[in-house]
Chains A and B, each alone.
Chain A
Amino acid sequence: MSASPWPESDEDSPLYHYCSERAARDVMDDELPVFYSGPRSNFGWGVYATDIEPTDGESWEQVSIDCFGGEATQAELSWCFVLHRGDAQEAFVQVNASEWMIERLAPNEGVEADTLVIEVRRWDGQGWEVVAEWDGSEWVPQNDVP
């Protein structure tokens, strides 16, 4: 019997960190991807992710409802990093039915993510397009995203 109070989640499946375009661009522009803990959240400072996969135009709404009490807008959630669940040093811990986090003690503390990121996608108005894949050393652009 599982000790987790939440429905079982496939440990091998990825997690998704939804964010704004500006936030995604900043992560991609740095030499190595680093996420910084946000200033405020339900479960404390940290970097958050969800198991809600970006599949269609409603995905962001589901994320907003399940993770932000319905308050977050599409502009805040229109880009998405696909992530491994963790490694020996940094691992996402489930904090809610659809929320995982890597905890930090204060805002603006970094989580180095070069072993966590897989790819980044964005909502292009019709579907979730892969913007770039992380090849372990750098972002490899896909689909000629402007």
Chain B
Amino acid sequence: MVQASDVKLRRDRRGIVFAGREVEGFPYVAEMSPGDQLKVARWARRLAPGSETDEQKALVEGHAVPEPSDKRLEGLYQDQMLRLPQVRSLWRRLGETEQAAVVNPENSVGKRYPLNTKKLAQLTGLSERQVRYWSDLGLLPHWLDDNGYRHFEAAAAIVAFSLVHRSQPERQFYAELGASERPMDDAQQALSLVCFRLVDLVGRLDAVESEEMEDMLRSAADNLREARTDFGSLAATWPDRYKVVKRSRVGHRRARAKQG
């Protein structure tokens, strides 16, 4: 009996290795498993067009590129977070050591991504309780496994390092914003105050500093627009696990509200 994994593409891409023997071209072999027959048929179409047998043509025509699994969608979502302008902006403000720790966490905590709560806390200097708290408030992007445990990728490490640098009153402000029932209202008010102060400062800054500030504000506006368009449309495809996280956040807030 031929095993399902008993066919490989040759390194020169001109044939296959089947049952340990090199074969020229991409023949249809009846004793191969259906999975391997499909593999070889696809290679024939891609690497030796015109060489396919009728059986191989039928196999390839019935084959569709797989839709992304929930796990892949989760990964695409995590990547999307990593590319957000504000996460990029936070990254640029990390020190070299912190950036190195984000890229290669195993050098600091002996573990690659995804990191659990304990490892993210060890990596960034937050306490485990703080990691749980900030992730419940939605500031540390994460996903939940089947047992409900949080897992964090690079975007969360960048945000967590940034939170470590903030003063206690600042963290309190972010916490209140995260827990707010009307976060857009609160953010708008805070931004108005910040912008008022910025306009006052602009006259005293040099041209480069002013330009950087304008870029930051423009980036924030772009980010909001993306949230409504590209990012929002992708959100419709986000995996159930992310929706679970969002529900758990709401549940957490409700529980806290009940506790008074």
Which residues of A come within 8 Å of B, CB atoms?
19-23, 25-26, 29-30, 34, 36, 38-40, 71-76, 78, 84, 87-90, 107-112, 114-115, 123-125, 135-138, 146
Contact = CB atoms under 8 A, between A and B. Distances in A.
B103 interface: yes
B8 A88 contact: no
A112 B13 CA distance: 16
Contacts, number: 133
Contact of B46 (A25, A90, A138): A90
Given A71-B88, A75-B91, A115-B47, A39 B80 contact: yes
Interface string B35-76: 000010011011111000000000000000111110111011
B153 interface: yes
Nearest to B107: A125
Contacts of B75: 22-23, 25-26
A120 B91 CA distance: 25
Interface of B: 5, 7-11, 13, 16-17, 39, 42-43, 45-49, 65-69, 71-73, 75-76, 78-80, 82-83, 85, 88, 91-92, 99-100, 102-104, 106-107, 110-114, 153-155, 158, 226, 230-231, 233-234, 237
A22 B83 contact: no
Given A26-B75, A146-B106, A89 B46 contact: yes
Given A73-B88, A123-B104, 7 more contacts: A21-B113, A26-B75, A71-B85, A74-B91, A75-B158, A109-B65, A146-B106
